[in-house]
Amino acid sequence: LFGFQADLSLMSEVRRLSQEVSSQFPVIHGLLNNAGTFDGDYSGRRVVTAEGNELSLAVNVMAPFLLTSLLLDTVRASGSGRILITSSISQGCGDALTDLQLKRGWSGHRAYSLSKLCDAMMIAEMHERYGDAPRLCFHTMDPGTVNTKMLRAGWWSGGASVRTATTSFRMLTEDSFQQSSGKCLSASEISDASKRAKLWQDLEFLTGAKWPAVQR
């Protein structure tokens, strides 16, 4: 069992993390991007990171976008790789795709909903560009109602224990999810190729991510 630690609000830390992981594990079979934050790190105010990004965007969206780009070849090297990003049925706020940093109209719920929409759009675009089942699969999911700090802070107290919440674990480990790629949530923005491409371009600019050339 190996552990790695990084501040996912900072892209410099994400790059360091990817180097440490790939050095220790030159081949990875699965990557689950599950880390997330809410409501300005539970402060109730819009927080900007040291690199100048709105916190929910940085942690929930930019970090998995950059980390996946940096570890893509490491996962693909397994010959049966799987990459997941946790989204949510709370995804939405598509009107804010032109203001990813939410410089106007920020709220904790709005920032979170936008970030989860971006996650679903990202995984759909990754599937379109790089999906190659069973060699490389991309999926997203709603994890269900789980009794986490985030749920209690923003919605209510209840749901499944984190010890028994298994949706992401099943999607990462069960063979059935290697048979096809592209399991995703539904929304008009997610199915809109032009909006996905614009988001991809924006995130490349924000993170400096360099993705491999698409091979058709």
Q: Cα–Cα distances in Å, from 81 out to 36, 57, 126, 211?
A: 23, 26, 13, 17
Q: Which of 133-142, 163-172, 187-196, 202-211 has the lowest mean pLDDT?
A: 163-172
Residue 189 has pLDDT above 70, yes or no: yes
Token digits of residue 39:
């409501």
Q: Is the dihedral of CA 152, 157, 159, 162 positive or negative?
A: positive
Strands ordered across the beta sheet of 81-86: 30-33, 81-86, 136-141
Q: Cα–Cα distances in Å, from 103 out to 40, 72, 94?
A: 13, 31, 15
Q: Which of 1-5, 6-10, 208-212 has the lowest mean pLDDT?
A: 1-5
Count of other CB atoms within 10 angstroms of residue 46: 17
| Arithmetic mean of pLDDT, 12-26 | 97
pLDDT 10s digits, 49-63:
999 999 999 999 999
d(CA 35, CA 55): 12
Q: Provide the pLDDT confidence category of residue 39 given band limits of 50, 70 and 90.
A: confident
What's residue 95's pLDDT?
A: 96
Residue 151 has pLDDT above 60, yes or no: no
What's residue 167's pLDDT?
A: 81
Element (H, E) at 82: strand 81-86
Q: Average pLDDT over the chain, rounded to whole?
A: 91
Give the closest residue to 20 by CA, choosing from 65, 69, 60, 71: 71
What's residue 32's pLDDT?
A: 95
d(CA 201, CA 209): 10
Residue 126 has pLDDT above 90, yes or no: yes
Strand intervals (E) in 87-156: 136-141
Total-model pTM: 0.91
Q: Is the dihedral of CA 167, 172, 178, 183 positive or negative?
A: positive
